[in-house]
């Protein structure tokens, strides 16, 4: 049996647990980011998948003992389906190790993971957002002595080790992009093959949609509550950052930050959308054909592929007077939680599984639509010949290669900046607070959080 002995390392449970974030994010739990409203955006959460609670076990068979590893994930919808396919392939190819995937509820994922690690009952493997890892680091096995960096894309490999230590192996990168309804574009007299590439084009397209159709034009935060994706994207495009260089204070209490806040406010003020930050409103409107353009993540193509919709994709660098091309993103990583008394052999079995899951990335890229993290998949013909390549992934790969991903900053508690961005972003968008005041208050709260 895969033992679950009490952990020998002390884990401070208080440091791990984050309160639940804004409502509405569970619908895209696959990729976005946990209880603070982070990707964990996923494929839309359209799959009703029960949660497994069984522990990993070791069972005997004719060929000898088989080690079964429990593997916690938070993926639902299309992402969940892709992970099922990935795990099934691993199990088919391995006789001595089997993975038992256990999908945990998205809105409880990090709290449950924290509790399991604190209580010495952690899963054998788990998925985490790279931006979360410092919060859990003392409960994870460092992997640098067990894994060769060579298979992984160098920039991604470096990105997922912000402290210099790899506590997880990169599975796939997700990024925010522009999705648009081609039929609404045609109805408005626009070229359905030409999504806006800058603010002037966004303005022209949005005005044409409002004037010539009964549809809404543009919503940059379709899930409501988690406004940090849009806010981070606009801040980076405006030429500033969420945090300062040493991550001790907000980095956007300046003129560029004010411009980003003003743009967030002006989208609805221009009549392109409703001044309404209700959870999941934009997502529903786009899927129902009532919204022409929205921002969403890599996972969203799987949601849309199941709908009768003629849609297209662009990179979405639409901030006025843009100084930089960048949109929010992060990378999922596969981790090996510590379990007290694990032998070298037990660790190596877990690492073997983690390496395979992250290095056999074709399924995760071509099915789930995420940017590959290994060189072999990134350069493969299979990737370029897949249907998702022309639909979305070509754009996302170019963004990743061109340094156009505004990653969530990695700090011990990501909620220190995510919650203020969500709170004041929603208030700015819904016209509950003046943009200048909202930006200043968000920056002040973030700095206070980081320094307290």
CB-CB neighbours of 52 under 10 Å = 14
CATH, domain 13-174+330-407, list 3.40.190.10, 2.40.30.160, 3.40.50.800, 3.40.50.1820: 3.40.190.10
| More reliable by pLDDT, 340 or 147 | 147
d(CA 219, CA 279) in angstroms, rounded, equals: 12
Predicted pLDDT at 31: 55
pLDDT at 116: 96
pLDDT of the residue at 93 = 97
Q: Predicted confidence band at 158 (pLDDT cuts at 50, 70, 90)?
A: very high
Whether 226 and 282 have beta carbons less than 8 Å apart is answered as no
Round to whole Å and give the CA distance between 29 and 79: 9
> Is the pTM value of this prediction over 0.85?
yes
CATH class, 176-327 region: alpha beta
Q: With beta carbons less than 8 A apart as the criterion, state whether 174 and 299 touch.
A: yes
| pLDDT on residue 195 | 98
For the chain, what is the mean pLDDT? 88
Q: How far apart are CA 365 and CA 372, in angstroms?
A: 6
CA dihedral (52, 175, 280, 227) positive or negative: positive
Where are the domain boundaries for CATH 3.40.190.10 in the chain? 13-174+330-407, 176-327
pLDDT band at 147 (very low <50, low <70, confident <90, very high): very high
pLDDT in tens, 162-216: 999 999 999 999 999 999 999 999 999 999 999 999 999 999 999 999 999 999 9
Query: What gap in Å lies between CA 269 and CA 431, rounded to an integer?
Result: 8
Beta-carbon contacts of 344 under 8 Å, excluding residues fewer than 6 positions away, are none
Average pLDDT over residues 122-126: 98
pLDDT in tens, 382-425: 999 999 999 999 999 999 999 999 999 999 999 999 999 999 99
Burial status of residue 200 (CB atoms within 10 A of its CB: 0-12, 13-18, 19 or more): exposed
């Amino acid at each position: 049996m895969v033992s679950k002995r009490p952990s020998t390392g002390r884990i401070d449970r208080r440091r791990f647990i984050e309160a639940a974030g804004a409502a509405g994010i569970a619908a895209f739990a696959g990729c976005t980011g946990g209880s603070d409203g982070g990707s964990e955006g996923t494929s839309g959460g359209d799959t009703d998948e029960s949660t497994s609670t069984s522990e990993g076990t070791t069972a005997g068979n004719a060929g000898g003992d088989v080690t079964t590893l429990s593997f916690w994930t938070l993926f639902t919808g299309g992402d969940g389906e892709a992970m099922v396919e990935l795990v099934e392939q691993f199990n088919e190819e391995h006789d001595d190790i089997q993975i038992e995937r256990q999908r945990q509820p998205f809105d409880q994922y990090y709290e449950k993971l924290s509790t399991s690690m604190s209580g010495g009952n952690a899963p054998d493997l788990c998925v985490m957002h790279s931006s979360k890892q410092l919060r859990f680091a003392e409960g994870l096995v460092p992997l640098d002595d067990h894994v060769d960096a060579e298979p992984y894309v160098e920039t991604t490999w470096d990105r997922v080790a912000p402290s210099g230590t790899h506590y997880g192996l990169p599975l796939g990168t997700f990024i925010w992009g522009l999705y648009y309804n081609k039929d609404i574009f045609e109805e408005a007299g626009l070229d359905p093959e030409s999504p806006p590439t800058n603010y002037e084009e966004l303005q022209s397209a949005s005005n044409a949609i409002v004037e010539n159709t009964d549809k809404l034009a543009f919503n940059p935060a379709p899930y409501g509550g988690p406004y940090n994706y849009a806010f981070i994207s606009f801040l980076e495009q405006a030429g500033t950052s969420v945090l300062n260089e040493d991550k001790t204070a907000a980095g956007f209490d300046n003129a560029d930050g004010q411009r980003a806040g003003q743009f967030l406010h002006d989208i609805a003020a221009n009549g392109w959308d409703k001044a309404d930050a209700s959870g999941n409103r934009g997502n529903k409107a786009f899927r129902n054909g009532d919204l022409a353009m929205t921002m969403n993540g890599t996972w969203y193509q799987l949601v849309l592929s199941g709908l009768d919709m003629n849609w297209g994709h662009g990179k979405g660098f639409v901030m006025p007077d843009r100084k930089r091309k960048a949109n929010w993103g992060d990378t999922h990583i596969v981790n090996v939680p510590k379990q007290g008394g694990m032998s070298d052999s037990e660790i190596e079995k877990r690492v073997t599984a983690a390496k395979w899951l992250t290095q056999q990335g074709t399924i995760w890229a071509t099915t789930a639509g995420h940017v590959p993290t290994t060189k072999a998949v990134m350069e493969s013909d299979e990737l370029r010949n897949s249907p998702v390549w022309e639909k979305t992934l070509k754009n996302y790969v170019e963004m990743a290669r061109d340094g156009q991903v505004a990653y969530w900053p990695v700090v011990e508690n990501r909620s220190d900046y995510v919650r203020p961005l969500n709170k004041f972003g929603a208030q700015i968008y819904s016209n509950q607070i003046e943009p200048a005041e909202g930006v200043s208050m968000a920056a002040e709260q973030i700095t206070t959080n980081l320094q307290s």
